[in-house]
Structure 1
Amino acid sequence: MANYAFYGTSTAASDALAARVTTVENTALVKADNLASLTNPTNARTNLGLGNAATRSIGTTNGTLAAGDDTRFSNSRTPTAHAASHATGSSDPITPAAIGALSTTTWRRRDMPDQALADSLYAGTTPTITATQTTTPTTGYLKYAPAGVTLTGSDSTGPFQYAGAGAFTIGASSPDTNYVLPTSKYPNTYSSGQSIWSIEFGTDTQLLQVRFKYMSTTASGFRLSIDGRKVTDLIQLMSAVSGIGTTGNGHLLTIDLGSAATRRVRIDFANVPFGGVYLPPGAGIWQVPLRGGRLMVLGDSISDGSAGNVGGGAGTWFARAARLLGSTDAWEQGRGGTGYISPGTSPVYAVFQDRIALDIVPYAPDRLIIWGGFNDNTGSQSAIAAAAASLYSALKSALPACQMYVIGCWSPTGSPAGSITNTDATLRTQAAAAGLPFISPITGSCYDASGALVTTQGPWITGTGKVLATTGTGIADTWISSDGVHPTDTGHIGLARRIAAAITALMPA
């Protein structure tokens, strides 16, 4: 250690100052030492916030560091299995939408049925159908009742597959306690709910009897299909069936299929409470799956039917379009007079958005067609736009996996009023903003979810005539009923094919 003396100071002061200099000399880092004079290198690294990498050697074993050219950075390795973590409900689920893939329920053109067969008539032996005003079946027949109906004796619950409706309810008082009706459409009551629905089942019988309550001479009807083919093109009114009695009474519809064979039977009902099926002893009955996903339409009387067509909502374009699109579970959720801002007039129902919480969302459709606007077209375009935007947003939020298609404003003439073309344009704008495909009945143009034009198929209605007031200027002469608004049976057939073609054009290959 060096000795220091400071002149001009007292001896005591000089000694004290020298001691301080010596202390600094002994504790300060010396550049030439290259940090060798640190008394505790470990503490120094800790104080500097350094880890232990600086003391590790290069190597390939635990506790060593990897070099930049280490082969472990480039060799092939099998990843640790972790697929389970990406499953639905697991810690890191992956959905088709998240990776830009199509859903397994996405409609594709290649999945569509043969259009020449999908809506064709049954080619087998024509069944014989009669009615009897009684609820007592042929002696020995066994009853297969709707779920919930009280069973007695040898009765059992039938394995029926319900289609087109839900929330089936038993009547509150006799004789309605023996029958079910769906309540899945506004106003969602037994007497005023969904009146259009179907049952399907498999059987090997020749004869069967269907129990039903006859409600109306003009509105109660049915259609029989066998193995996916309809026996009649249109709904058949119960009033036209041989042997039918008086309304308000229970009946049996006896169907003779001509021979005993394994078949898939479907019965479409219109305003008919259902009380079960009776089969002869030894005949089998089993449940069959529905096909093509659940298709719904949220609409007005163009979908729900009018006096201009047979069978009300069961006789409109929708059921036929569903067959052309391959869907056997078709829910017709239209209500006459309603729309985006119109709740209807007589009777008053509810606007589209006020209906979806009860009529649409709980039943989780795979596909939804939204067709309205005609009953709104004389209203404020800004109000229509706001209601459409709100409706589309609510539906997409509640049904993120559902494929949706918006059809624009209906026009019963080839020369639509400005309010109709304006409404069509308003709905097209809002559909594009919501990312929904759009189809214009006025122009036949089809737009994808981005709003880009995919194809133009021409106006759905041409000419200015109607039934009983033809003009010879286009198909309106036969497609539009005498009320000047609603389609005829011919019109609904044509609309079904136009709508199926438009939706198909918007599908991926």
Structure 2
Amino acid sequence: MDVLSPLSLLADPSGPRSAAPAKYADRWRRRDLPDPILVETLYAGTAPTISVAQTSTPTTGYIKYAPAGVALTGSDVTGPFTYLGGGSLTIGSGTPDSSYVLPITRYPNSRGTLSSSQSVWSVQFGTNSQTLQMRFNYQTAGMYRLVVDGRKVADLMTAVGGTTAGNSHLMSVDFGSAAPRTVRFDFYTVPFGGIFLPPTANMWAVPKRTDRFMVLGDSLSDGSNMNTGSGAGTWAHRAARLLGSDDYWDEARGGTGYISPGTSPVYAVLGDRLALDVYANPPDRLVIWAGYNDNGGNQTTLRSAADSLYASVKSNLPSCEVYVLGCWAPTSSPATSLTNTDATIKAAAAAAGLPFVSPITGSIYNSAGTLLATHGPFITGTGKVGSTTGSGNADIYVGSDGIHPTDAGHAYLARRIVASLQELMPA
């Protein structure tokens, strides 16, 4: 058994650590986090020239690097791709779906025709080519983010720009010069069919750099029509980068909660999704943020569900760093049902020995339930009422539906949540 000195306990505001999980030796530390300015800085190289055409025929002589399992013909090879944010890459059936893969690692863990339950994920590889062509099937909701050498080419997700839904397309990318690079595509609703490179170029694997970071929650993390790129454009993707994680898993589903099962195709509360969504793809760090969809329910029932969920997580993921966020409030004057829900989740987290952050008050509690700091409410003011702009930040950070964050709101929430988690990290 490891022996923790009094000094080591003082250095770790999240409270005493169990000696059992050796994994805690490489837990998040404030001093190891990346510089947030560098993380948010866009790619400074020559801006790539990007075009899209409805075709599956690449430039003459180009070699296809196909996803594993896709049938190879001619000069095709299997590409050394690293998949991030999703797993169980599954090939579709029929034409053209048998040429495309999609992950199925989110409830209901299924693969339809040119669709998947796991809509947000990424593919990464290295190449020294000046040009590449990415094969995808155009879906009207499809969006992407190109990341070169760890820097985003554009801050927000971009529409893939296809022509006819259900048809094969090629996205041609010209970097302006040949040089070794790490290339990453973040996807939202994009069936992936591989990369074409000229015969003079190479491709190699670029393994992920960090442990797996996962968020289990509702549409605050899964995205809405108030933000760009749905789940690929929420606070969680930004927070992952600010925390130095390149393998972020979006296991949130809109409408769900501790006791709310959401709507089709979900119909499952958080606890029902643990086995397939979380334990089957075990994270090293997990943020649980839900409760807004539960605020109209019975608080005793909510407490029981939260107690059960936290106990299960601690039992099945003994080495995972787990953080709990309380109930969201889109105004500075939340209804009693929201404050009661926040208090119920806080009490359950404390009973389970899990750190807790309240979006309503900005208060941060360690695993022993001790208040460490209060950063103030996430949202202030009342937002826009009709044509009148309210005071505070709600009118900027909360969308016209009065609930979900805007793009600016998600950028703000990422900073607030990361700052809160830093209070829970050792220096």
Q: 1:347: how far off?
A: 4.5
- Alignment correspondent of 1:304: 222
Q: Using the alignment, how far apart are the partners of 1:186 and 1:101 within structure 2?
A: 30
What is the aligned counterpart of 2:379 among 449, 461, 466? Answer: 461
Shift, 1:469, TM fit: 4.7
- For the 8 Å contact 2:123–2:186, the answer to whether it is kept is yes
Instruction: Describe the SS at the equivalent of 2:19.
Output: helix
Partner of 1:150: 71
- 1:195-344 correspondence runs (5 A): 195-216=119-140, 219-239=141-161, 244-344=162-262
Normalising to structure 1: TM-score of the pair?
0.78
The residue type equivalent to 2:152 in the other structure is: K
Residues 350 and 470 of structure 1: CA distance in aligned 2, closer, same or farther (over 3 Å):
farther
Cα distance in 2 for residues equivalent to 1:375 and 1:99:
35
Equivalent position amino acid for 1:312 in 2 = S
Q: Partner residue of 1:383? A: 301
> What do the CA deviations read for 1:184-208 (whole angstroms, capped 9, x no partner)?
0011111341000001111111100
1:41-73: CA deviation from partner (whole Å, max 9, x where unpaired):
xxxxxxxxxxxxxxxxxxxxxxxxxxxxxxxxx
Distance in 2 of aligned mates of 1:127 and 1:386? 52
Task: Please say which structure displays the higher CA radius of gyration.
Answer: 1
Partner deviation per Cα, 1:102-125 (whole Å, 9 max, x = no partner): 723311111100111112211111
Residue in structure 1 matched with residue 275 of structure 2 by the alignment: 357
What one-letter code is carried by the residue in structure 2 that aligns with 1:109? R
- Letter of the aligned partner of 2:74 in structure 1? G
The answer to whether 1:170 aligns with 2:91 is yes
In structure 2, C-alpha distance between the alignment counterparts of 1:495 and 1:292, rounded to whole Å: 22
CA-CA distance at 1:470 after TM superposition: 4.5
Counterpart CA distance in 2 for 1:198 and 1:507 is 28
Shift of 1:305: 0.7
In structure 2, distance between residues paired with 1:162 and 1:214:
20
Query: What SS is found at the alignment partner of 1:98?
Result: coil
Check conservation: 1:186, 1:349, Cα contact below 8 A.
no
Instruction: Indicate if the aligned counterparts of 1:302 and 1:316 stay in contact, CA closer than 8 A.
Output: yes
Quote the offset at 1:260 in angstroms: 0.6
Say whether the 8 Å CA contact 1:308–1:486 is kept in structure 2: yes
Calculate the aligned-residue CA RMSD, in Å. 1.4
Out of 26, 33, 52, the position equivalent to 1:105 is 26
Q: 1:105 touches 1:293 (CA, 8 Å); kept in 2?
A: no
- Distance in 2 of aligned mates of 1:452 and 1:359: 31
Q: Which amino acid aligns with 2:350?
A: A
2:249 match: secondary structure: strand
Alpha-carbon distance, 1:348 to partner: 4.2
Instruction: Tell me if the contact between 2:22 and 2:319 (Cα under 8 Å) persists in the aligned partners.
Output: no
1:161 and 1:349 map into 2 onto residues whose CA distance is 31
Q: Is the Cα contact below 8 Å between 2:253 and 2:266 reproduced in 1?
A: no
Of 36, 42, 62 in structure 2, the residue corresponding to residue 115 of structure 1 is 36
Structure-1 residue corresponding to 2:9: none
**Which amino acid in structure 2 is aligned with residue 413 of structure 1?**
T
Which residue matches 1:29? none
Aligned residues: 408
Change (3 A) 1:165 1:101: closer
* In 2, Cα distance between equivalents of 1:296 and 1:351: 17
Q: AA paired with 1:107?
A: W
Q: Distance in 1 between matches of 2:60 and 2:354?
A: 56
**Structure 2 portions without partners, runs of 5+:** 1-16
Pair 1:186-2:110 in alignment: no
- In 2, Cα distance between the equivalents of 1:118 and 1:468? 37
Identity percentage of aligned residues: 61
Query: Is the Cα–Cα contact under 8 Å of residues 335 and 349 in structure 1 kept in the other structure?
Result: no
Instruction: Summarize the alignment of residues 24-35 of structure 1 with structure 2, pairs less than 5 Å apart.
Output: none
C-alpha distance in 2, partners of 1:101/1:344?
Answer: 37
Q: Please name the residue that 1:447 is paired with.
A: 365
Distance change >3 Å, CA 222–CA 101, structure 1 → 2: closer
Contact 1:304 1:334 in 2 (8 A): yes
Long gaps (5+) in structure 1: 1-95
Partner in structure 1 of residue 310 of structure 2: 392
Matched, 1:403 2:321: yes
Q: How many angstroms does 1:371 deviate by?
A: 0.3
Query: Could you tell me which amino acid in structure 2 is paired with residue 224 of structure 1?
Result: L
The Cα of 1:289 is off from its aligned counterpart by 1.9
8 Å contact 2:331–2:394 — kept in the other structure?
Answer: yes
3-state SS of 2:25 partner: coil
Cα deviation 1:233-259 (Å, max 9, x = unaligned): 0000123xxxx3211100000001111
Distance 2:30 2:426 in 1: 6
Q: AA paired with 2:93?
A: A
**How far apart in 2 are the matches of 1:372 and 1:453?**
21
Extract structure 1 runs of 4+ deviating beyond 4 A: 99-102, 467-470
SS of residue in 1 equivalent to 2:267: coil
Aligned-partner Cα distance in 1 for 2:395–2:315: 42
Corresponding residue number in structure 2 for 1:474: 392
Does the 8 A contact of 1:187 with 1:349 survive in 2? no
Whether the 8 Å contact between 2:100 and 2:193 is mirrored in structure 1 is: yes
Equivalent-residue separation in structure 2 for 1:446 and 1:399 (angstroms): 23
Amino acid at match of 2:249: W
Q: Partners in 2 of 1:298 and 1:99 — Cα distance?
A: 25
Kindly tell me: are residues 470 and 371 of structure 1, through their superposed partners in 2, closer, same or farther at Cα, counting changes over 3 Å? farther
TM-fit CA distance, 1:349: 2.6
